Amino acid sequence: MRIVVLAGGIGGARFLRGLKAAAPEAEITVVGNTGDDIHLFGLKVCPDLDTVMYTLGGGIHEEQGWGRADETFTVKEELAAYGVGPEWFGLGDRDFATHIVRTQMIGAGYPLSAVTEALCARWQPGVRLLPMSDDRVETHVLIEADGERKAVHFQEYWVRLRASVPAQAVLPVGAEAAKPAPGVLEAIAAADVIVFPPSNPVVSIGTILAVPGIREAIAEAGVPVVGLSPIVGDAPVRGMADKVLAAVGVESTAAAVAAHYGSGLLDGWLVDTVDAGVVGEVEAAGIRCRAIPLMMSDLDATTRMAREALDLAEEVRA
């Protein structure tokens, strides 16, 4: 079975761990969000790709969900001693090595997809990890600060400001000119199932879908497309998805997110048992829906969620 998963960071990465356990024989291709990539200290940092790679490769800081386990922060402290920031972005020494290798390879002319493959040769994530695009796409968030509207990098909005001010718009800068990375459209065309894990529908999956050609390829693949709600009981399971949903005029409910993807794209939708009341509404909109426990509290729970997603896909297919 060939499965394509669109993934952001923590939510996507943890779901993938369950999916690998639920379908150990499947060929899984992950199309990773690169809209939250950022240049820091002259180095190219790809937080979402790295979270997937570290999580599946056994290098992740488990409690935190991002960054490396057993991390130290000597380089960052030294940079601060030079007065060089930003200090709000937590790059550890182990993590720095990843960004140094990536930046060196990109400087030598390799596209991000080739770099990602090279990094994965070490981590052996057990999936094929592709960036959504080799072209630079940077998600910016429009905010109002000191009476002025301005666009800040997504990481600045998310990490420095902790989404504490309303997002007026989310702008995937460069997306309209970006091309899907080599292998992305081919993987989608060859997929048996396409899954949207409980990643952020706007700044993770939404950004991937904003790369021209990807949404169309998914819609035209002719295979079940199933998703899992990142919203449980009107609040994001993790993170601050409600902030960016508001920016695109979508309510923070499991039903509203399903409607945002739309029945033209999405065939099946899993909501949490606390949201069982919306199943009828989602199905009325032409999307098959089931309510199951959606908390990725451990690998077993996550594996059950992945199995339910695959079961729902079979139900859709039949």
- Tokens at 249, concatenated: 């005029």
In the block, tokens 């909109």 appear at 285
124 binds a copy of itself (CB under 8 A): no
Query: CB 113 → a copy of itself: shortest distance, Å?
Result: 17
Collapsed DSSP state (helix, strand, coil) of residue 29 = strand
Among 69, 54, 45, which residue's Cα sits nearest to residue 10?
A: 54
Torsion region of 247: left, alpha or beta (phi above 0 gives left; psi -120 to 50 gives alpha): alpha
Query: CB 169 → a copy of itself: shortest distance, Å?
Result: 29
Smaller CB distance to a copy of itself: residue 97 or 169?
A: 97
Cβ-proximal residues to 259 (8 Å cutoff; 6+ apart), any chain: 250, 282, 285
79 binds a copy of itself (CB under 8 A): yes
Query: CB 175 → a copy of itself: shortest distance, Å?
Result: 25
Strands (DSSP E) along 267-311, which ranges? 268-271, 288-291
Ramachandran angles phi, psi of 25, nearest 5°:
-90, -10
Of residues 19-48, those binding a copy of itself (CB under 8 A)? 41-43
Map residues 54-73 to x or -, x wherever contact with a copy of itself holds by CB under 8 A.
Answer: ------------------x-
Per the DSSP assignment, residues forming a β-bridge with 195 are 5, 226
* C-alpha pair distances (Å), 116 with each of 77, 128, 185: 27, 10, 17
- Binder to a copy of itself among 21, 69, 75, 240 (CB under 8 A)? 75
168 binds a copy of itself (CB under 8 A): no
295 binds a copy of itself (CB under 8 A): no
Of residues 81-120, those binding a copy of itself (CB under 8 A)? 81-84, 93-94, 96-98, 100-101, 103-104, 107-108, 118-119
- Tokens at 237, concatenated: 């399971």
51 binds a copy of itself (CB under 8 A): no
Binding site for a copy of itself (CB under 8 A): 41-43, 72, 74-76, 78-79, 81-84, 93-94, 96-98, 100-101, 103-104, 107-108, 118-119, 121-122
